């Protein structure tokens, strides 16, 4: 074989490897979905235990179930924990995101008796870590997969390949059961599976710090520090309310120097009681990396609250939004009519002197509250 032929073959080899590297930089690779190998009930939370936790290993209609009982029909379940997923993510990679899919359903439910998420959280080294992705949506009576996280979602923390490959990496979930005197709902888990997204991209820009806090005026103040190698980089500050999608609220393009640079942004529109923030850093190759998520709680005045609790003659609501719907349901399942009169700006008051003593649930707009009548 001639030297020219060898040079051509060598050049082709390096070109193919270069193209492969570009492809790896442009998208995350996928591991899974994989099922857990170790399941347990952890009673460090809640009152209702999950029976036969290992039934959540496969989707076969054999379910791990936690149920309300005759004298205790409102409360949270214990944790159902799944670990031992057996991931083998290659070394020298970065974790893009983690997706958890839970096949779940509920029984014994009605308009007045519901099951909801209480905790959906990942475990790092056996310890609950990062964001709680529980939602307020009612569970249905039919088995279906519900997705938490995704291909670019790190659940409010950071992960190494060692964290993911550990036998103690896993998922913990707890449900909220809201029964009534004649209905005792059950939370049922048929299957838990996890998908991990990773890549080999090493983004030249390094995020040293990303933080946020609420200032006295009720505005979210975000700050971050970056170092780089002079490469032109797009930095996007993104925001998300619960159940919403990420939205870019600020973007800048600049060459990041090797000396650490500080940046600040003030979000004058918190808009609701709390919000999550993250940074998306996009290199010239188009590869994106994401910071950990910063969660900022708004003022208590931005939430609907009921007080006093317990109450004797009247209850009051503090609501930053106009009240367009109020429903009151006793623990006996009976609807009770309450009329709230507005006074003093965002305060509302209702006479409850005719109600019998006991527990009542009121739904104000889309917010569910509870109070005790003495």
Summarised one tens digit per residue, pLDDT across range 199-228 is 865 546 788 889 988 776 667 889 999 888
What whole-number distance in Å separates Cα of residue 66 and Cα of residue 46?
A: 11
pLDDT greater than 50 at residue 59: yes
CA distance linking residue 246 with residue 212, whole number of Å: 17
Q: Of 3.40.50.300, 2.60.40.10, 1.10.8.50, 2.30.30.140, which CATH number belongs to 206-297?
A: 2.60.40.10
Least confident of 134-143, 190-199, 245-254, 342-351: 342-351
Q: Quick one: 304-373 is in which CATH superfamily?
A: Immunoglobulins (2.60.40.10)
Q: Is 223 helix (H, G, I), strand (E, B) or coil?
A: strand
pLDDT tens-digit series, residues 126-158 = 999 999 999 999 999 999 999 999 999 999 999
In 3D, which of 22, 201, 196, 21 has the Cα closest to residue 94? Answer: 201
Whether 206-297 and 304-373 share one fold: the answer is: yes
Q: What are the domain boundaries of the chain?
A: 29-199, 206-297, 304-373
The CATH number of the structural domain formed by 29-199 is: 2.60.120
Write out pLDDT tens, residues 253-280: 988 887 888 899 988 876 556 789 999 9
Question: What are the start-end ranges of the E strands in 144-185?
Answer: 144-149, 170-178
């Amino acid at each position: 074989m001639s030297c020219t032929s060898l040079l051509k073959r060598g050049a082709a080899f390096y070109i193919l490897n270069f193209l492969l590297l570009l492809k790896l930089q442009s998208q995350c690779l996928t591991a899974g979905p994989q099922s857990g190998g170790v399941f347990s009930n952890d009673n460090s939370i809640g009152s209702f235990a999950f029976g036969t936790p290992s039934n959540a290993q496969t989707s076969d209609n054999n379910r791990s179930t936690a149920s309300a009982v005759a004298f205790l029909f409102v409360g949270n379940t214990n944790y159902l924990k799944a670990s031992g997923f057996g991931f083998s993510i290659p070394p020298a990679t970065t974790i893009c995101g983690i997706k958890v899919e839970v096949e779940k359903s509920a029984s014994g439910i009605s308009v007045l008796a519901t099951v909801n998420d209480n905790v959906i959280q990942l475990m790092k080294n056996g310890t609950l870590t990062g964001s709680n992705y529980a939602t307020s949506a009612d569970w249905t009576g039919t088995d279906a997969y519900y997705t938490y996280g995704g291909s670019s979602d790190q659940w409010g923390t950071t992960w190494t390949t060692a964290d993911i490959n550990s036998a103690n990496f896993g998922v913990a979930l707890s449900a909220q059961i809201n029964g009534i005197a004649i209905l005792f709902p059950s939370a049922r888990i048929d299957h838990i599976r996890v998908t991990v997204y990773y890549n080999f991209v090493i983004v030249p820009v390094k995020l040293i710090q990303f933080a946020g806090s609420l200032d006295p005026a009720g505005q979210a103040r975000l700050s971050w520090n970056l170092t780089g190698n002079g490469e032109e980089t797009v930095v996007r500050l993104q925001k998300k309310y619960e159940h919403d999608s990420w939205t870019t609220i600020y973007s800048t393009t600049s060459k990041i120097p090797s000396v650490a640079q500080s940046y600040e942004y003030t979000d004058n529109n918190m808009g609701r009681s709390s919000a999550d923030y993250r940074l998306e850093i996009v290199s010239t190759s188009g590869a994106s990396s994401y910071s950990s998520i910063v969660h900022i709680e708004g003022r208590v005045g931005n939430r609907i609250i009921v007080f006093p609790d317990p109450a004797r003659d009247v209850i009051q609501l503090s609501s930053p939004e106009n009240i367009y719907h109020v429903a009151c349901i006793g623990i006996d399942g009976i609807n009770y009519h309450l009329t709230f009169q507005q006074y003093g700006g965002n305060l509302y008051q209702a006479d409850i002197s005719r109600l019998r003593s006991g527990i009542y649930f009121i739904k104000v707009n889309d917010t569910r509250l509870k109070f005790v009548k003495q």
